[in-house]
Each structure stands twice: as structure tokens, then as C-alpha cells.
Structure 1
Amino acid sequence: MDNTLAGKVAVVTGATRGCGRAIAVELGRLGATVYVTGRTTRESASPMGRAETIEETAELVDAAGGHGVAVRCDFSSVSDVDALRARIGGRVHVLVDDVWGGDRFIEWDVPYWEADLDKALAMVRGAVDTHLIALHRLLPLVVSEPGGLVIEVTDGDNDDYVGPTIGYHVAKSSIRAIGRGLGVELAKFGATGMAVTPGFLRSEAMLDIFGVTEGNWRDAVGKTAPLDFAVSETPAYVGRGVAALATDPEVSRFAGRTLASWTLMHTYGFTDVDGTRPDFGRWLTEVRGAGIDPADADAARFR
């Protein structure tokens, strides 16, 4: 274990599963104390209806070599976040803002004007309001001393519209906008703000949707999952990218930017857990963007 972050405090919002869980574990692997926050505990489930809990994530942080502290927090509640801040009680060196929970509001293949307005608004509020509340209450702990790092987690490294709905696009592009704003505002206090995005993510939920596990995920490609899934990545991939950013003494050069997992891979040279280097950005450009049928593309070239 590399103890680069020993003695450092990190907070990861939305750390129950997916990117948030993986980021928390990778920060723990470097020796950090990680406040693992989210809504699902062993005693109380969130509306997401998933089995993963913040306690499990904290235990994974411990097993990786860090110190996981599970704190239930609903980031739509200012009082919950105030209680989290009081629990932390001191400086935060790394804040990763990964709250989402909007999947259940997505309506696929439905024109926006025919979609459920309440679902669209709930998606945006759940994605944007929660991030703004978390930042308002927790940033004082980051900027109390120079050198802090704040990372917003989004989907996509540019504002091109790719769907699946206008509400989803507004939610995710808003997070990139927050990252740009943080890049400017935090620099005044000697801190760095930015955003990151994974590629096609093999999250726990995505594997369940496609009816596979991490052990046999390739069986879904072109069957229950689109051919693009051949260039998918585990949540640990972007987690390793965030860990690399957190230990980079020159991380301020990325202030305000949104960096993809594949960009971070090229910058820092890490691999996914299976030793591959998925490059979903190249796939989007050289296959999808070039109008090539994914069935005719050699997916292995992009891993």
C-alpha cells in the first residue's frame, strides 16, 4: 500500500455504490480517512432500492488500507449536511461530489414534451441541488488551508447533447458547469476544483440491467447490452484516476476542466482492474463518430 494520503481526510458523497464507492476505496488504498456518505444503510434503504450500503463501502475502504467512516447523509437536506460537517469537525483535503440517484427518473425514447415533467424536474433537482448544498456547507472545510481538491463527478467530458433525455443532459452538463466555476473560485484560496467522468460504466446496477456479473460481463455484448459495452470499464478505473489527481502536486493545472477516465489513464498510466486500458473516448471518435458499424470494429484495439 502507498500511504501517500496518510493523515489526509477525504469526503465522498454518493459513495454507496458505483463511482462513489470505487473512488472512496482508491483514496483509502492511499491511506486516507474517507467519510463515506450516502442514504442507504444496513438499517434504512433509499428510494434507489439497491442492496449496497455505505457501511459496506467503509469496510472496503478499511480493507484497502484506509479508514472508512460511514455517515448517512441525504444531500437534499441542509440539516443532514450540517450534521455531516459537524461530524467531520476539521479540515477536508479532498472532496468528491458524486451524488446522483436519478436513474429511476429517466424515461427512455420519450420526447421531452411527452415525458413526465415531475420526473424530469426531480432528476435535475436531485443532481444539481444536492451538489450545490454539499458544496455550500463543506467547502469551508476545504479552503480553511491551501491545497484542497474538489472533484465533481458527471457523465461526459463535453456539453454535446447525447441524451438520453433533456433532463439528464441538463443535470450532467450542470455538474460540468459547477466544475468550471469551482476552478475559478477555489483558485483564489489555493485550492483546485474540477470535474471527472467515467466512460461506459460497469456499475453494479448496469451489470444487473444486462443480466451479467463482473466475471462474465463480456457475455452481454451485442446481446443484452449494446456493442459499445465491449469498451466498458469498472468503477475502479475512474477511481484510480481520482486517486492520481489527489496525489498530483501539480493538479492545479487541471482547474476548471472535465477530465475523462481515459484522459486520466493517458496522463497517469494506470490500468483498470483487469490490466486493460479502456479508451471509450477513442471508440466514440473513431467508431461512432466515424459512422463505422460497431460490429465491424475491433473492440480490443480500444482496451
Structure 2
Amino acid sequence: MKEGIDVAQQITEITRTLSNKIAVVTGASRGAGKGIAIALGQAGTTVYVTGRSAANTDSPYGGSVGETAELVTKSGGEGIPTIVDHADDAAVADLFERIKQEHGKLDILVNNASKVAGPATGGFWEKSLEIADLITVGLRSHYVASYYAAPLMIANGKGLIVNTGHYGAVSYFQNPAYGAQKAGGDKMAADMAKELRPYNVAAVSIWMGGLDTERTRAYFATLPADKIPKQKLESPEFTGRVIAALYNTDRRMNLSGQALIGAELGAILGVTDIDGSIPMSNRFTMGGPHELHRSLID
């Protein structure tokens, strides 16, 4: 994509880029996953939308895999709602076997599923131990989905695995389980990239900034006006637009293995947010990705 084009032109170009491509976006009932799935749909992709929410009453924040899939289809792709508990390895295996039978390939996997529980404040020892489930559904589940996705991408001769990441990998954010999950996702992508490189399959972690999601809006609604952060939030669709551009760029394999700040990658690839704005990197306030050891890039 070129820099300096208007939003309408950019959307038109995006729509042409990923027709006939197959993607899986995990944890896409709402939030980041929902936005990513919709943006990939805008690019013409067939998207398997996974999550546990069969109805929008299953979460206090609303949303369901069916609603997201419908929006993917309305945006120009094909949304396929798929109820999957990503703590269930057999259910994940069944998902990718279904994709193999229906399409014989997979082009993009976005690992976004996570399990969030408990309050954001207080010491980790004061919170429910259930918060540690974020390491299972959010780190281990990324590994399991990638395990089943990789053979389909290798057979296809091209692919992209994305772990949704965050600055919490290097700075304090929410709790120790969150930080461990994000740091682990970065290293997992780097190591997978090393092993997948001979097969033209890339793996990256993309750090998202503050997102305008249902959960964020609900949290802000509890704050006094003077306590609401002033920085503009990224739309959840922005990361999906970046992923579409990354899949198509000839820099894809050069960037493989890295943890990448979405706002910075978007600037490199000429991607704007859905309102035409350019999201801001938080590198200088929250830190940046670690440098990879040469053993991971040689």
C-alpha cells in the first residue's frame, strides 16, 4: 500500500487484496478479534470466527461469533461462525481438520483468544487464581492453534501466523499473568518463525495500543471525566488492516519472527485507521520489543 492515499481509495485497495484467502481469527466474538475479523473480511477473506459466545448474552460486553461472522460477510468477505473453546485441544484440532476438508489450506491465523478474569487492581495474591487461566487460553492456546495450522500453511507454500501482543510484554500492565502471556507470545512467534522460515510461512507478534472495544468503553464509563485517558484509541479494525497489508507485502518474511508495534508497522506499510487517522506508537512511554538474538534470524 502507498502512503498518502485517501481512506476510500485505501479501503478499495484492501478489498482486492485477500480474495480466495482463508483465515482463522480466534477469540473474535468481540473486542480486538472482532475488529480484526471484520477488517480481513473487508479484504475479501473467508474468516473462521472462533469463540465461546453463541449468544450476545453470554458476556456482559455482548457479542457472539455469529454476529461477528455476519459483519465479516457484510464487509465483503465470508464469515464462518465456529464455537470453539480454546482450552479444549480436541475442539481446536477439529476446527483445523474442518478447514482442511473444506478448503485444503490456510493462509492466515490470528491468535487472539484469551481468558480475562478478575479486577485490574490489587496484588496478584489477592485476586482469583482463575486469572492464571490467561496463560492457558492466551498462550498455550496460541501454541495449539499454531500446531494445527502450520501443516496447512506449509502445504500451501505461504502463510502468516499472528499473535496479538501488547506493551505489557516489557512494561507493567494489569497483572503478572498478563505480562507473562504477552512476553511468551512474542518469544513463541520468534521461535516458530525460525522453524517455519524454510516453508515461506511467517510468524509475528503485533502489539496493539489502547483499543476502542466494548470492554474499554464499559470501563471508561465508570471513571470520572477527568480520569479518562486523552490519547485517541485505535479501532480494533486497525490491526486487521495491518495484518492484511503484512500478508501481501514483500517484506513479510523479512519481518518474520519479530514483535512489531502495530502503529509503527502501519506507518511503514501505509495503513491508516478506519477514520483516516494514524495511530501513535507508545514505544517511548511503555517500551519497545526486545532485540532478537542472531540465532533466531540467521
After TM superposition, is the score higher than 0.5?
Answer: yes
Residues 109 and 221 of structure 1, relative CA distance in 2, 3 Å threshold: closer
Structure 1 stretches of at least 4 aligned residues deviating more than 3 Å after TM superposition? none
Does residue 67 of structure 1 match 2:67? no
Deviations 1:131-188 (A, max 9, x none): 12212222221221221111111212x8423232111111111111111112111112
Residues in 2 aligned to 1:284 and 1:116: alpha-carbon distance in whole angstroms: 27
Pick aligned residue for 2:123 from 111, 124, 128: 111
Residues in 1 aligned to 2:192 and 2:163: alpha-carbon distance in whole angstroms: 9
Question: With structure 1 as the length reference, what TM-score do the two structures score?
Answer: 0.82
Aligned length: 271
Deviations 1:170-222 (A, max 9, x none): 1111111111112111112221111101111111110121129xxxxxxx795
Residues in 2 aligned to 1:159 and 1:44: alpha-carbon distance in whole angstroms: 32
Aligned pairs for 1:1-303 within 5 A: 1=12, 2-42=15-55, 45=58, 48-89=59-100, 90-102=104-116, 104-105=117-118, 107-112=119-124, 114-116=125-127, 118-156=129-167, 159-211=169-221, 223-227=226-230, 230-281=231-282, 284=285
Aligned-residue offset at 1:52: 0.2
Deviations 1:2-50 (A, max 9, x none): 32211111111111112211111111111111111111113883xx443
Give the 3-state SS of the residue equivalent to 1:280 in structure 2.
Answer: coil
* Aligned counterpart, 1:296: none
Residues in 2 aligned to 1:12 and 1:226: alpha-carbon distance in whole angstroms: 29
Residues in 2 aligned to 1:44 and 1:38: alpha-carbon distance in whole angstroms: 14
Deviations 1:245-264 (A, max 9, x none): 12213311111111112112
Residues in 2 aligned to 1:266 and 1:222: alpha-carbon distance in whole angstroms: 31
Residues in 2 aligned to 1:22 and 1:181: alpha-carbon distance in whole angstroms: 27
Asked if 2 retains the 8 angstrom alpha-carbon contact of 1:93 and 1:149, the reply is yes
Give the 3-state SS of the residue equivalent to 1:231 in structure 2.
Answer: coil
Question: CA RMSD for the aligned pairs?
Answer: 2.3
Residues 278 and 43 of structure 1, relative CA distance in 2, 3 Å threshold: closer
Residues in 2 aligned to 1:272 and 1:43: alpha-carbon distance in whole angstroms: 26
Residues in 2 aligned to 1:159 and 1:168: alpha-carbon distance in whole angstroms: 8
Question: With structure 2 as the length reference, what TM-score do the two structures score?
Answer: 0.83
Asked if 1 retains the 8 angstrom alpha-carbon contact of 2:112 and 2:138, the reply is no
Asked if 1 retains the 8 angstrom alpha-carbon contact of 2:264 and 2:281, the reply is no
Percent of pairs with identical residues? 27
Residues in 1 aligned to 2:195 and 2:76: alpha-carbon distance in whole angstroms: 33
Give the 3-state SS of the residue equivalent to 1:152 in structure 2.
Answer: strand
Residues in 1 aligned to 2:23 and 2:263: alpha-carbon distance in whole angstroms: 23
* Aligned counterpart, 1:292: none
